[in-house]
Amino acid sequence: MHGFITTISLNGILPNLNYQWKPLFEFQPPHIQRKLIRSDIRVEQITSEKFLLDKLWIDNDDFFIVTEGLITNIEALLLQHNVNNTEILINKIATENDIFFEAFTGNFTGFFFDKKNNHFTVFNNQTGTKKLFYFKSDSYLLFSTDLFTLSRTLKHLNLNKTLDNDAAYLLLTSGFMHDDYTLIKEVKQIRAGEYAKWNGKKLDLKFYFHMNDISENTDSETVIIEKLDNLFKKAVTNEFEFEKKKNFIPLTTLSGGLDSRMTALTANDLCFHNQLIFNYSERGYADELIAKLIAKKYNLKIKHIPLTYKGLLSIDDVVAINDGLSIYSGISHSYEAIKQIKESKIGIIHTGMLGDAVLGSYLNGTKKNKPSISEGMYSSSLLKKVEPIIKKSINQYNDEEHYKFYNRGFLGMNNGFLCYELIAESSSPFLYPEFFSYALSIPRKFRYKEKIYIKWLKTKHPDYSNYIWEAIGGKPTNNEFLRFYYRAKRAVVKRLPIHSMWKNNMNPEQIWYNNNPEVKAYLDLYFKENIEKFDFGLELKTDMINLYKEGDITEKTQVLTLIAAYKLLF
């Protein structure tokens, strides 16, 4: 929601700028402001005081750099390059390598100004866990981690901005952006593993890290399991040890799934015993009960936050967090939960984000397949309208898994980090570059249906598999018959008129909408009061009205997200 913004005049002196940032929520920690002001460039950062010394802000005669988020391996790089402070380190590695940031690990993004050559570079981390946007015209170049602040700056500079109808239809179907889209046609995203460099004449965008560069390995299953385990422990240690040195408390998510379980229990095995376990779901659902059983067994302190329908009412708050980049109901439950965390010493929220995908859940078979047009959509009601946009996106990929990662994963699922970062930093050891790269190099025959994941679990951590895996309704197994049996049994139990942890789901939005008149009244009023206020154009507006009136709760929230985002950005 905050971070940094840079405005560069390409033709002389910048006019006076007063950047407009979103107000902090009352539950957020204190933030500070830092500025760099020159005649032709203005940089400003609004960032949490947590880990302040680890967010780079270095200004000298040779260069300027600002980073947002955490670079967790600075100490290791200091040793590797035999230097004793970060300023000398950055000067050395930036002189030796234009893409010096490829050596960083962590949840980071940054801006680098090479003063000697008058070159500017912005960079996102390898898996796009931070947001980064850019605008380019003949007169100005803007980079920002916050789309709202960039949008307001365009207005201040009298620069044109228009609604991108393609992006609007992506939001109404996929529920998230694809490729480099934002809802502002003139503003694009800098994606996972991507950087943009201005050399004085043109702006070049390139990938310094891409899944296309990962080759399939020839390791045996035994070697694969050994390497996975060692690299995962290294990844967990990297983020937990970094936090420990700063005297913060780790907040670790735990649900009924495997990914958060792997993070929490591996950290516990590595002697990070001060974790506060964080669980949120509808009261009595499997996610709560499984997490509590695990926490009790391993003597982990757990905080459960029961979810209610009230998260669905936080339309404007949630869209302010995600800038309309994804459906608001996708993270409204996280927002409802995170604002109830009162512990001020939380440093990093540790997750299992995208763990299942890294280990095979995005595969539809053991061979490469082209993605299907409707893959992963929240709604197919407007499929005909979005089909040419999706086809254009699909044509960039020869592999359905890569398509899913760079769109659903990095541009959709990763938005879950945005809520967590309201109160702390965030991470996932599955996205640690070394682990991520090795896991994606494992042959598909091992990763399909997450078989290697289960084999790793049962071989190295058999006690972790003593608890139900929410995804299948039974203990983790590669036995196809048992998986089918567990799922069938759960489906039957859901339909029986008995109390069960399988009733509903983690956040049963349709049931909340159906059973709470307050929800229906609030959403309907929001729609009615706003749909006529803004110029969506006749075709898009008609589609929004029909989708809201005829759609389910998910489709209604897709429409409301677009309305709220337009109100925020235009």
pLDDT digits (tens, 9 = 90+) for 536-559: 999 999 999 999 999 999 999 999
Question: Worst-scoring range by mean pLDDT, 52-56, 92-96, 281-285, 350-354?
Answer: 281-285
* 74 or 484, greater pLDDT: 74
- The H or E element spanning position 92 is helix 86-96
DSSP of 208-267, one letter per residue? SS-GGGPPPP---HHHHHHHHHHHHHHHHHHHHHHHHHTTPEEEEE--SSSHHHHHHHHH
What pLDDT sits at residue 475? 85
pLDDT digits (tens, 9 = 90+) for 255-280: 999 999 999 999 999 999 999 999 99
Query: pLDDT band at residue 504, thresholds of 50, 70 and 90?
Result: low
β strands within 512-557, DSSP E: none
Q: Average of pLDDT values for 97-120?
A: 97
What pLDDT sits at residue 395? 92
* Environment class of 129 (CB within 10 Å of its CB; exposed 0-12, middle 13-18, buried 19+): buried
Query: pLDDT band at residue 491, thresholds of 50, 70 and 90?
Result: low
Distance of CA 240 to the CA centre of its chain: 19
pLDDT digits (tens, 9 = 90+) for 166-190: 999 999 999 999 999 999 999 999 9
Q: CA-CA distance, 28 to 50, in Å (whole number)?
A: 11
Q: Average of pLDDT values for 101-116?
A: 98
Please state, for a pLDDT cut of 70, what percent of the chain lies above it.
96
Q: Average of pLDDT values for 125-141?
A: 98
pLDDT digits (tens, 9 = 90+) for 429-487: 999 999 999 999 999 999 999 999 999 999 999 999 999 888 888 888 878 867 777 67
* Environment class of 265 (CB within 10 Å of its CB; exposed 0-12, middle 13-18, buried 19+): buried
DSSP of 459-505, one letter per residue? HH-GGGGGS-BTTTTBS----HHHHHHHHHHHHHHHHSSS--TTSS-
Q: CA-CA distance, 179 to 188, in Å (whole number)?
A: 9
Residue 44 · residue 85 · CB < 8 Å: no
Helix (H, G, I), strand (E, B) or coil at 547: helix
- Taking alpha carbons only, the member of 243, 264, 287, 3 closest to residue 122 is 3
Report the chain's mean pLDDT, rounded to a whole number. 94
Query: pLDDT band at residue 494, thresholds of 50, 70 and 90?
Result: low
Residue carrying the six token digits 């959709």: 412
What pLDDT sits at residue 477? 82
Q: CA-CA distance, 481 to 468, in Å (whole number)?
A: 16
Helix (H, G, I), strand (E, B) or coil at 531: coil
Residue 282 · residue 508 · CB < 8 Å: yes
Rg (the chain; Cα; Å): 23
Please state, for a pLDDT cut of 90, what percent of the chain lies above it.
89
What pLDDT sits at residue 470? 85
Q: What is the pTM of this model?
A: 0.95
Query: pLDDT band at residue 499, thresholds of 50, 70 and 90?
Result: low
The yes-or-no verdict on residue 301 having pLDDT over 80 is: yes
Distance of CA 365 to the CA centre of its chain: 26
What pLDDT sits at residue 516? 92
Q: CA-CA distance, 519 to 256, in Å (whole number)?
A: 27
